[in-house]
Structure 1
Amino acid sequence: MPDASDGAAFFAENCVACHGATGQGDGQNADDLSAVPTDLTELSRRNGGVFPAARALSYIYGDPQQGHLARVMPQFGGAMAEDLVPVEIDGVFTPTPRALAGLLFYLESIQR
C-alpha cells in the first residue's frame, strides 16, 4: 500500500511547478497560469476541518463535471487505472490508482 512518502515523490515530480514545494500555490509556473493554483495545505480548513478525500481524488483524477478545457490542471486518469489499491473514502473502500492513493495520503499530511 502506498503511503505519504510515495505521494510526496509523485507531488515533487508532477505538482511542484504550479503548487510549489510546500503545496501553497507558489510554484515557479504559478504566475503564468490563467487560474491561481490552489493552496493544497488548506483543503481541510476550507472543508470544516475534514480532509475532502473524495473531492480531491475526483479533481486530481479528472473531475467528470469539468471538461479538460475548463481547467488548467492536467487530469491524471488513463493508464493509472490499471494499478488500483483500496482506499477508504467516506467510509467506503474505493479502488484508487496507486500513485493517487499515495498523493492523497501526502496531501492529508500537509494540512495546516
Structure 2
Amino acid sequence: MNRILLLIPALAAGLLTACSTMGQGPVAGRALYAENCASCHGASGRGDGPAAAGLRRPPADLTRIAARRDGVWPMLEVMSIVDGYSRPDPDRDDMPVFGNFLDGDIVRYDTGNGVMTPTPVKLIAMVNYLETLQDPAPTGYVP
C-alpha cells in the first residue's frame, strides 16, 4: 500500500504533463505554422509562400529536412532553429526569431537525447507539426 501511495504523485505529474501537451498537438502546431511560417514557407512547407518572392534568398523547403538527414527527424536541431538559438546559415537574417514560441506553458520534454528539458509547449507543437510535413523517403530508401 505504501508503494502505491508513493507512485500517486509521479503518476499525477505524468498525467499533468500529458494533458498540457495534448492541447498543443497537431492542430495547435498547424495554427502556429499558419500564423508564423506559411507566408514565406508556403502552406505545404515547400518555400513557396506569398512573401517568398520578396526575400533575398528563397525560404527553405521544410518538407525535405528529414530526407537531407537520411530520413532522421532532427528534433533538437529544428527546435533550435525555430526558437532562434541556432541558425546554421548566418546569411539567413531574413528569417525572424519567433520569441512567441517561448511564451506560455513549459513542460519537461525529451527531444531524443535522453535528457528531460523544460521546453515551451508551443515550440514542441510547432516542431511536431513540421515533422508531419516531411516528404516520405524516396523509393528504395533503406534506413
Tell me which stretches of 4 or more aligned residues in structure 1 moved more than 3 Å. none
Provide Cα deviations, 1:77-112, integer angstroms capped at 9, x if missing partner: 368255312332123222221211100110111111
Q: Show the counterpart of 2:139.
A: none
Greater gyration radius: 2
The TM-score with structure 1 as length reference comes to 0.86
Query: In 1, distance between residues paired with 2:133 and 2:108?
Result: 22
2:128 to 92, 97, 105: 105
Aligned residues: 112
- Contact map agreement 1:40 1:107 (CA 8 A) in 2: yes
Q: Residues 10, 32 of structure 1: CA spacing in aligned structure 2 closer, same or farther, 3 A cutoff?
A: same
Check if 1:56 corresponds to 2:45: no
Q: Identity, % of aligned pairs? A: 39
Q: Show the counterpart of 1:19.
A: 41
Q: CA deviation at 1:35?
A: 2.0
Q: Residues 79, 18 of structure 1: CA spacing in aligned structure 2 closer, same or farther, 3 A cutoff?
A: closer
Q: Secondary structure at the match of 1:87?
A: strand
- Contact map agreement 1:57 1:100 (CA 8 A) in 2: yes
The TM-score with structure 2 as length reference comes to 0.69
Q: Residues 97, 40 of structure 1: CA spacing in aligned structure 2 closer, same or farther, 3 A cutoff?
A: same
Structure 2: runs of 5+ lacking an equivalent: 1-20, 136-143
